[in-house]
Amino acid sequence: MKFDMEKVYAYIDAHSEEYIELLRVLVRQPSIAASGEGIADMVKLVKKSLENVGALPQEIKTPGNPVVYAEIKGENDRTFGFYDHYDVQPVDPLGEWVDPPYSAAIHDGAIWGRGVADNKNGLASKLCAVDAFRKVYGKLPVNVKFIVEGEEEIGSPNLPIFAQEHPALLTCDGYNWEGGMKEEGAPAQVHFGSKGLLYVELCAKGPKVDTHSCYAPIVTNPAWRLVWALSTLKDKDDRITI
84, 87, 131, 149: which is the annotated catalytic residue? 87
N-terminal to C-terminal alpha carbon distance within the chain: 52
Amino acid at 238: D
Whole-number Å distance between alpha carbons of 96 and 74: 46
Amino acid at 242: I
71, 131, 151, 152: which is the annotated catalytic residue? 152
Pairing relationship of beta strands 143-149 and 58-60 according to DSSP bridges: unpaired
Report the alpha-carbon angle 103-104-107, nearest 5: 110
Is residue 87 annotated as part of the catalytic site, yes or no?
yes
- Bridge partners, 99 (sequence order): none
Closest CA relative to residue 64, chosen from 32, 31, 36: 36
Is residue 152 annotated as part of the catalytic site, yes or no?
yes
Residues labelled catalytic: 87, 152
